[in-house]
């Protein structure tokens, strides 16, 4: 009887050991699957945030490019006459802070808007990652003064969708009113 009892306990112990090993394998598979699902969710979230950040960066670049239009408008407003005007070239007669005559020129060269003061290149108005695809100047002359109509189209070099943003403005010369 003792022998049978010991033998029965050994069999139970052996069964418990086999059952415990089986649970460990099932638990291990469960944790691997759980870890995989959580990893996929985290990776998807990171990819979504990266796309959102890139889109925000592109929209910010395009919005900040309005500074090009603002600079051109400010110089036209401060000028007293138009020296020469062409489709993508505008040369203004203006005065510096000391009251000395000078010329300010805006020129579309390739995909950059260049600023020239007294025929010397000062630099580009747009940043390297912004492409200017169109810059048009139109002179408006009335009996009371002169104005310039400006049309500017820009694109971000980082935008895979190649979207563009248009800016329009009409500015009256200071000496004209």
Reference 153, options 133, 137, 168; nearest CA is 133
Of the given ranges (56-60, 85-89, 111-115, 125-129), which has the lowest mean pLDDT? 56-60
Read off the tokens for 7: 């033998």
pLDDT digits over 110-121, tens only? 999 999 999 999
Task: State how far the alpha carbon of 68 is from the alpha carbons of 49, 82, 123, 128, in Å.
Answer: 30, 19, 12, 13
Whether residue 173 contacts residue 148, with contact meaning beta carbons closer than 8 Å, is answered with yes
% residues pLDDT > 90 (the chain): 59
Angle at which helix 2-64 crosses helix 66-78, to 10 degrees, equals: 20
Residue 136 predicted with pLDDT over 80: yes
Q: What is the pLDDT averaged over residues 82-102?
A: 91
pTM of the predicted protein model:
0.70
Answer whether residue 14 shows pLDDT above 60: no
Distance, in Å, from the CA atom of 53 to the CA atom of 71, rounded to the nearest integer, reads: 28
Query: What pLDDT shows up at residue 177?
Result: 47
Instruction: Please answer whether residues 169 and 67 qualify as being in contact, where contact means their C-beta atoms are separated by less than 8 angstroms.
Output: no
- CA-CA distance, 110 to 132, in Å (whole number)? 8
| Alpha-carbon torsion (47, 50, 54, 56), positive or negative | positive
- Specify the pLDDT at position 176: 46
Q: What are the CA-CA distances from residue 72 to residues 131, 136, 140, 148, 170 (Å)?
A: 16, 12, 16, 10, 11
């Amino acid at each position: 009887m003792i022998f049978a009892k010991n033998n029965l306990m050994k069999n139970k112990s052996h069964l418990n050991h086999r059952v415990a090993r089986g649970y460990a394998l099932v638990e291990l598979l469960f944790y691997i699957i759980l870890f995989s699902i959580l990893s996929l969710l985290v990776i998807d979230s990171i990819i979504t945030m990266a796309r959102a950040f890139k889109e925000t960066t592109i929209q910010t670049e395009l919005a900040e490019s309005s500074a090009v239009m603002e600079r051109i408008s400010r110089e036209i407003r401060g000028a007293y006459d138009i020296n020469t005007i062409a489709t993508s070239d505008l040369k203004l007669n203006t005065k510096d802070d000391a009251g000395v005559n000078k010329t300010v020129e805006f020129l579309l060269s390739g995909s950059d808007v260049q600023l020239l003061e007294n025929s010397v290149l000062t630099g580009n108005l747009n940043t390297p990652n912004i492409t200017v695809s169109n810059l048009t100047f139109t002179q408006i002359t009335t009996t009371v003064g002169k104005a310039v109509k400006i049309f500017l189209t820009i694109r971000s070099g980082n935008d895979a969708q190649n979207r563009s943003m248009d800016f329009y403005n009409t500015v009256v010369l200071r000496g004209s009113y």
